[in-house]
Amino acid sequence: MNVLIVGGGGHVSGAVSQAALAKQWNVWTITRGVRPLPEGVKSLIADRHDAEVMSKVVAKEGTNWDLVVDCICYDLPDIRQDIELFRERAAQFVMVSTDFVYDPFRRKFPQREDDAHYVDGGEGSLSYGRKKRRCEEELIHGDTGDMGWTVVRPCHIYGPTSELGCLPMAARDPELIAKLRAGEALQLVGGGHFLQQPILADDLADVILNVAGNDNARGRIFNTAGPDIVESWQYYRIVADVLGVGLSVEEISVQSFLAENPEKAPFMCHRIYDLEKLRSAGLNVPSTPLVEGLRMHVEGLLARR
Percent of the chain scoring above 90 in pLDDT: 96
pLDDT of residue 63: 96
- Within the chain, what is the greatest distance between any pair of CA atoms? 57
Q: How many independent structural domains does the chain possess?
A: 1
CA–CA separation, 162 and 154 (whole Å): 15
Global pTM value: 0.97
**Pairing state between β 2-6 and 26-31:** parallel
User: What phi, psi does 231 have (nearest 5°)?
Assistant: -70, 145
Domain of 39 in residue numbering reads as 2-304
Query: Is the pLDDT at 305 greater than 80, yes or no?
Result: no
Query: What pLDDT does residue 304 have?
Result: 86
Q: What is the pLDDT of residue 35?
A: 85
Q: How confident is the model at residue 69 (pLDDT cuts 50, 70, 90)?
A: very high
- Number of Cα atoms under 13 Å in the Cβ half of residue 279: 10
- Find the CATH number of the domain harbouring 224: 3.40.50.720
Type of residue numbered 148:
G
Contact between 12 and 71 under an 8 Å Cβ cutoff? The reply is: yes
The pLDDT tens digits for 213-227 are: 999 999 999 999 999
Q: Which residues pair with 5 in a beta bridge?
A: 29, 69
What confidence score (pLDDT) does residue 87 get? 97
Mean pLDDT computed over 205-212: 98
